[in-house]
Homo-oligomer: A and B are copies of this chain.
């Protein structure tokens, strides 16, 4: 009795899933306890050239019919995006078929509906591939660390932006040159918005925060800033101070543990921090828990084969569950913690100001920080005369206080320009 798999989408990831299901058929059968059979592949257009060696008889453009076909046991969704993925997944779950998906955008936008449908359909919903590609992260968070109390999840979860920032750091390239190179190498798409504006990382952050804090989190809860405004000067200036700029996803409980924040933004981290050494398109995520302490997970965060590895692991899990007549862990949102606004986030800031060359400038600037109770850790002047810049690094302060300070500085006649404001992270981690 074979387990019948319906595949939705046969692009970069789907074609690898097909290939690996074929190449590893014996191993997968032994691990599940029954062979897998690819029973149908839904594609947008028939007759297109594909990387995967799929029997043309399996191809269909009628995905709706495929996902509810009586003989299908598992639906694997690797189309991405909201529709038609959502309708198809819901149709599959509603008819009691388990679903394996890599769809971070959908889970972050409407996870509640999808999870509820899985529960109602008594079906499995696995999505290891949705976050950090091949890196086992969802399962460790959902299962291995479920006896612990997670304080914070912090990491690099978007390979495209990491590639771009790494290029800028190592070669001094501008953002647009680095983006062009990433596009030429296939690391960035023709329309790079989802990556460079942080939407992709924000969706992943929402999923991670929801699992880590047993609460419901959507992409709308995530404070999101992309990397398009990062200049070669920012990168060089960070480098000179012993920092590197990374796009981080940070899910962190408040000090009282009763709320948490979720944010995606570029940040300066010390060059000695393990995340600073994450090069090219790799991903790495720190998880900090009360008893486990600090854990790090590192690996390929994207790409056809790595993502397919995670999808296949989930297919095996679902297959075992189907055979045993059971289900994997459900969504856990019992804690129902509040997502606090970005203004309540507490961290450190690096601020560069273009200032007039007059006596008393520092005193007046410092006064603006003091008025908002933002304590300055270091300040130094770069250049002199008309080119003088003040570079300040603050102690920990709330984002609201920092924003108010920056607003006040912009009003100051002696401040010609607020050149850059960047958060500083990772100084409390090894």
Number of copies of this chain in the oligomer? 2
Listed residue (A20, A128, A297) with the most chain B CB atoms within 10 angstroms of its CB: A297
Q: Does A28 contact B (CB under 8 A)?
A: yes
Q: Does A300 contact B (CB under 8 A)?
A: yes
Q: Does A135 contact B (CB under 8 A)?
A: yes
When chains A and B are docked, how far (Å) is the Cα of A317 from the Cα of B145?
10
Q: Does A395 contact B (CB under 8 A)?
A: no
Residues of B within 8 A of A145 (CB): 136, 309, 313
Fill in one digit per residue for A299-326: 1 if any B CB lies within 8 Å of its CB, else 0. 1100101101111111111001000111
Q: Does A370 contact B (CB under 8 A)?
A: no
Determine whether the beta carbon of A294 is less than 8 Å from that of B300: yes
Q: Does A148 contact B (CB under 8 A)?
A: yes
Residues of chain A in range 257-314 having any CB-CB distance to chain B below 8 Å: 274, 277, 279, 289-300, 303, 305-306, 308-314
Given A296-B297, A310-B144, A326-B324, verify A291-B334 contact (CB < 8 Å): no
From B274, B305, B312, B332, contact of A277 by CB (8 A)? B274
Determine whether the beta carbon of A147 is less than 8 Å from that of B315: yes
When chains A and B are docked, how far (Å) is the Cα of A417 from the Cα of B326?
64
- Say how far A29's CB is from chain B's closest CB, in angstroms: 9
Q: Does A352 contact B (CB under 8 A)?
A: no
Q: Does A30 contact B (CB under 8 A)?
A: yes
- Say how far A320's CB is from chain B's closest CB, in angstroms: 6
Listed residue (A139, A140, A312, A326) with the most chain B CB atoms within 10 angstroms of its CB: A140
When chains A and B are docked, how far (Å) is the Cα of A261 from the Cα of B324?
34
- Say how far A286's CB is from chain B's closest CB, in angstroms: 9
Listed residue (A295, A316, A325) with the most chain B CB atoms within 10 angstroms of its CB: A295
Q: Does A190 contact B (CB under 8 A)?
A: no
Q: Does A412 contact B (CB under 8 A)?
A: no
Residue of B nearest to A284 (CB): B296
Residues of B within 8 A of A380 (CB): none
Q: Does A50 contact B (CB under 8 A)?
A: no
Q: Does A81 contact B (CB under 8 A)?
A: no
When chains A and B are docked, how far (Å) is the Cα of A146 from the Cα of B28?
8
Determine whether the beta carbon of B294 is less than 8 Å from that of A147: no
Q: Does A31 contact B (CB under 8 A)?
A: yes
Q: Does A229 contact B (CB under 8 A)?
A: no
Residues of B within 8 A of A295 (CB): 134-136, 297-300
Determine whether the beta carbon of A147 is less than 8 Å from that of B313: yes
Fill in one digit per residue for A116-148: 1 if any B CB lies within 8 Å of its CB, else 0. 000000000000100000111001100111111
Q: Does A171 contact B (CB under 8 A)?
A: no
From B140, B147, B326, contact of A28 by CB (8 A)? B147
Residue of B nearest to A272 (CB): B277
When chains A and B are docked, how far (Å) is the Cα of A326 from the Cα of B312?
22
Q: Does A27 contact B (CB under 8 A)?
A: yes
Q: Does A239 contact B (CB under 8 A)?
A: no
Determine whether the beta carbon of B139 is less than 8 Å from that of A31: no
- Say how far A158's CB is from chain B's closest CB, in angstroms: 17
Fill in one digit per residue for A361-374: 1 if any B CB lies within 8 Å of its CB, else 0. 00000000000000
Determine whether the beta carbon of A317 is less than 8 Å from that of B143: yes
Q: Does A24 contact B (CB under 8 A)?
A: yes
When chains A and B are docked, how far (Å) is the Cα of A335 from the Cα of B31?
10
**Residues of A bordering B, CB below 8 Å:** 16, 20, 24, 27-28, 30-31, 128, 134-136, 139-140, 143-149, 214, 274, 277, 279, 289-300, 303, 305-306, 308-317, 320, 324-327, 329, 332, 334-335, 430
List 9 tightest A-B contacts by C-beta distance, closest first: A147-B312, A136-B144, A134-B292, A136-B140, A326-B326, A291-B309, A295-B299, A296-B298, A292-B309
* 19 CB < 8 A contacts A-B: A16-B291, A30-B332, A31-B146, A134-B293, A134-B295, A135-B295, A139-B140, A140-B140, A144-B310, A145-B313, A274-B277, A277-B277, A289-B309, A292-B300, A293-B300, A293-B306, A294-B299, A296-B296, A297-B298
